């Protein structure tokens, strides 16, 4: 028997009615944005702004699903789509600014910086280190070697990173840098304790801060408050995190990462994970799929059926497994 929503959710602010409405909104919005991007009236600036919104919304959707208590295994494949959305934003932003590989996260803005940290944390905790080079490419043109924490975290997987003492946001991020240089595990754990306590207050200028206070029924902009990077540091340092109980610390995700270390050694193939499928490839799993490239695209495919391209200017057609497999979404 399935547990009730309030027992599954990972943070107490989220209600089932808000979650279901938000998931439906994301589905509709992705289609609407795809239509706008395909419109001949959309100029370079407009396309850049649309892709900026889309990339942020893809992350927020993943974060909301984690907050709602969705299985971690499903989020592992979905992370690819988040990175792809930011890559499309980088292309659009670079076209608008007429520069190559313009950074999509601006380190001086804590909202941007925190999102980069969250994504970096997820690549380690979900065993998707294969995505780290792509994540680094989203910022390196403008910010390579300019922030100590970014360089330290990237250095666990990527070569040729740079040592620096510079930090854009010492409060709260210096605590994580300190943790990675401690001689004793107990000191490193205390640094992470200090970090998770300081994290949310330090985010007061981020646009999503206090989003739970703006929730009214199905209205609001809350998608969960998660310091995924703190969990990644605890995981990478193999620390005992039993005493870390702060709400923003993703303890069950750290436990999952430890229990599934073998996934780091396996080739990541999103088709075999059955969460996404490119046009022209055989459908890996029978059921409802949809593509952000076309509004109203949700339909049933049979296993082995070739996934079609919908055309347009959105880019390659990527079909995504619909987590809601009901016959109707009403």
pLDDT tens per residue, range 221-236 = 999 999 999 999 999 9
Rounded to whole angstroms, what are the CA distances from 164 to 168, 171, 181?
12, 17, 14
- Residue 211 DSSP code: G
Q: What's the residue count for the chain?
A: 330
The answer to which of 26-40, 82-96, 179-193 has the lowest mean pLDDT is 26-40
- Distance from C-alpha of 55 to C-alpha of 119, rounded to nearest angstrom: 12
Mean pLDDT of 24-46: 85
Burial (CB count <10 Å: 0-12, 13-18, 19+), residue 129: middle
pLDDT in tens, 107-139: 999 999 999 999 999 999 999 999 999 999 999
pLDDT in tens, 233-290: 999 999 999 999 999 999 999 999 999 998 876 655 444 445 778 888 788 888 888 8
Q: Are 184 and 241 contacting, i.e. CB atoms less than 8 angstroms apart?
A: no
pLDDT in tens, 306-329: 889 886 545 567 888 876 777 765
User: What's the pLDDT at 45?
Assistant: 92
- Structure tokens of 265? 């050694």
Mean pLDDT of the chain: 90
User: What's the pLDDT at 320?
Assistant: 81
User: What's the pLDDT at 288?
Assistant: 87
The whole-model pTM stands at 0.82
- Distance from C-alpha of 243 to C-alpha of 189, rounded to nearest angstrom: 9
Mean pLDDT of 18-23: 94
- Structure tokens of 287? 């059921």
Domain ranges of the chain: 5-268, 271-330
321 forms bridges with which residues in the sheet? 289
User: What's the pLDDT at 313?
Assistant: 47
- Cis geometry, peptide bond prior to residue 172 (ω within 30 degrees of 0): yes
- Distance from C-alpha of 230 to C-alpha of 254, rounded to nearest angstrom: 10
Q: What are phi and psi of 319, to 5 degrees?
A: -90, 135
User: What's the pLDDT at 38?
Assistant: 80
Rounded to whole angstroms, what are the CA distances from 299 to 286, 311, 318?
10, 17, 14
CATH T-level fold of 5-268 = PA2201 C-terminal domain-like (1.10.3920)
User: What's the pLDDT at 167?
Assistant: 97
Mean pLDDT of 40-63: 91
- Classified as helix, coil or strand, 278 is strand
Please name the helix (run of DSSP H) or strand (run of DSSP E) that holds residue 290, with its range, or none: strand 287-290
């Amino acid at each position: 028997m399935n547990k009730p929503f309030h027992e599954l959710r990972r943070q107490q602010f989220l209600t089932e009615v808000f979650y279901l409405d938000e998931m439906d909104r994301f589905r509709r919005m992705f289609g609407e944005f795809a239509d706008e991007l395909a419109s001949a009236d959309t100029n370079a600036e407009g396309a850049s702004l649309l892709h900026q919104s889309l990339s942020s919304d893809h992350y927020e959707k993943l974060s909301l699903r984690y907050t709602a208590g969705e299985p971690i295994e499903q989020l592992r494949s979905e992370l690819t789509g988040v990175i792809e959305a930011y890559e499309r934003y980088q292309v659009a932003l670079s076209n608008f600014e007429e520069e190559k590989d313009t950074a999509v996260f601006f380190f001086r803005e804590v909202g941007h910086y925190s999102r980069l940290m969250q994504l970096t944390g997820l690549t380690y905790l979900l065993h998707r280190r294969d995505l780290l080079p792509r994540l680094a490419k989203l910022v390196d043109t403008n910010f390579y070697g300019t922030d100590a924490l970014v360089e330290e975290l990237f250095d666990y997987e990527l070569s040729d990173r740079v040592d620096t003492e510079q930090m854009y946001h010492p409060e709260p991020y210096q605590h994580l840098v300190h943790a990675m240089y401690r001689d004793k595990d107990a000191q490193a754990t205390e640094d992470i304790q200090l970090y998770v306590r300081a994290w949310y207050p330090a985010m007061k200028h981020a646009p999503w801060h206090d989003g739970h206070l703006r929730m009214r029924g199905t209205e609001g902009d809350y998608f969960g408050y998660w310091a995924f990077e703190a969990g990644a540091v605890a995981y990478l340092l193999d620390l005992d995190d039993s005493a870390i109980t702060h709400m923003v610390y993703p303890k069950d995700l750290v436990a999952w990462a430890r229990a599934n270390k073998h996934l780091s050694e396996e080739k990541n193939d999103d088709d075999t994970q059955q969460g996404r499928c490119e046009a022209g490839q055989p459908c890996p799993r029978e059921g409802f799929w949809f593509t952000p490239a076309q509004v109203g695209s949700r339909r049933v495919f049979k296993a082995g059926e070739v996934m079609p391209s919908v055309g347009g200017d959105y880019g390659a057609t990527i079909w995504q497994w619909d987590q809601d497999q009901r016959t109707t979404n009403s």
